[in-house]
Amino acid sequence: MIMNVAYVAFGGAIGAALRYLVGLSVIRAIGQGALGGFPVAIITVNILGSFLMGVFVVAAAQRGLTHLSPLVMTGLLGGFTTFSAFSLETVTLIERGQWGAAGVYVALSVIGSVGALFLGVLIARGVFA
């Protein structure tokens, strides 16, 4: 039990650092105000993290790597994806009166993330079959 907690903590630290770096890279690539404050960095992280979760779920199941789930799924990818930040950004858009942008943000985040996970599963099944 204590080792799993350590794996989650270690993975979470790496995931959070990667989230920061990917977010920073996206903002630098498109510019801070390029989309009127629309949280594209967080959408990018959520969709990428969901895709990687889909790939890992299949790889772990087919390669006998489920023992790495606390490290990878809960820690690394849990620290990487940002649905708490997603919620904050949604509320911020709503509070600014940007209801349309908030709706688009929620729809893109949810549909994109679920779609990316599904795509990750399909690709991983083809690779690991």
Binding residues for Na(+): 78, 81
Distance CA 25, CA 73 (A): 23
The answer to whether 86 touches 19, Cβ cutoff 8 Å, is no
Question: Tokens at residue 42, please?
Answer: 């967080």
Cβ-Cβ contacts under 8 Å for 26 (sequence gap 6 or more): 40, 41, 44, 45
Question: Tokens at residue 67, please?
Answer: 């023992």
Nearest alpha carbon to residue 38 among 110, 103, 82, 117: 103
Distance CA 38, CA 92 (A): 10
Question: Tokens at residue 52, please?
Answer: 């990687």
User: What are the binding residues?
Assistant: 78, 81
Question: Tokens at residue 89, please?
Answer: 């950004």
